[in-house]
Amino acid sequence: MPKILESITTFEDKVVLRLTFGGGLASAINAAEIDVRESSSGQNDILDVDEIKFRPRPSFDLAGTAPNGEAINGFVELIKSDGSVTVLVQAGSTVYDWDGGSTFTSVGTVPTGSKLRGGRFSTSILDDIVIITDLEKKTVVKQWDGTTFSDFSHNLGGDLFAKYAIIEDERLDLANVKSGSTDTPHVLLASKRGTTFSASDFGTLSTSVRASESGAGTDDAFYIPMPDMRAINGLMSLFGVQVLSTNEGQIWKLEGNDQTDFKMNSLYPGSAAAGDEALVKIGEDALYGRPGIIESLLASEKFGDVEVDDVSRWIADEIAEVKSWTSIYNPRTKRAYFWPENGNEIYVFQKSLYDPVQRVTRSSAFPGGKLGLSPWSKWVTDYGSGDFRQTAAEVIRRVTDKKDVVYFGDASGRILNLEGTGLQDGGSDDIVTDRTSGTIRLPTGSVFDVKGNIKYRRFAGATVTLTFLFGGKEVFHDTRTICRKTMATCTW
Q: What domains sit in the chain, N to C, each tagged with a CATH number? A: 61-434 (2.130.10.10)
159-186 b/e with 16+ CB inside 10 Å = b?
ebbbbbbbbeebbbbbbbbbbeeeebbb
CA-nearest of 131, 145, 141 to 80 is 145
pLDDT value of residue 259:
80
Instruction: Please tell me whether residue 332 adopts helix, strand or coil conformation.
Output: coil
Q: How far apart are CA 60 and CA 102, in angstroms?
A: 17
pLDDT value of residue 361:
34
For 108-133, write each residue's pLDDT tens digit: 999 999 999 999 999 999 899 999 99
For 435-470, write each residue's pLDDT tens digit: 999 888 776 766 777 777 777 777 777 788 888 888
Torsion of CA 290, 296, 300, 302, to 10 degrees: 180
pLDDT value of residue 306:
45
Instruction: Please tell me whether residue 145 adopts helix, strand or coil conformation.
Output: coil
Determine how many CB atoms are found less than 10 A away from the CB of residue 355.
16
Who contacts 489 (Cβ-Cβ below 8 Å, separation ≥6)? none
Strands (DSSP E) contained in 331-417 are 335-340, 346-350, 376-379, 392-397, 404-409, 414-417
CB-facing half-sphere around the CA of 18: CA atoms within 13 A: 9
pLDDT value of residue 362:
36
pLDDT value of residue 183:
98
Burial classification of residue 139, based on how many CB atoms lie within 10 Å of its CB (0-12 exposed, 13-18 middle, 19 or more buried): buried
pLDDT value of residue 239:
79
Contact 110, 139 (CB under 8 A): yes
pLDDT value of residue 358:
44
pLDDT value of residue 484:
65
* DSSP letter, residue 269: T
pLDDT value of residue 69:
97
DSSP element (H, E) containing 302: helix 297-303
Largest CA distance in the chain: 85
Contact 4, 439 (CB under 8 A): yes
Q: How far apart are CA 283 and CA 80, in angstroms?
A: 21
pLDDT value of residue 212:
63
- Could you tell me the CA-to-CA distances from 20 to 52, 80, 352, 373, 377 in Å, in that order? 7, 44, 18, 13, 15
**Residues of the chain falling short of pLDDT 50:** 303, 306-307, 358-371, 491-492
For 194-241, write each residue's pLDDT tens digit: 766 556 789 888 877 777 666 667 788 899 999 999 999 999 998 788
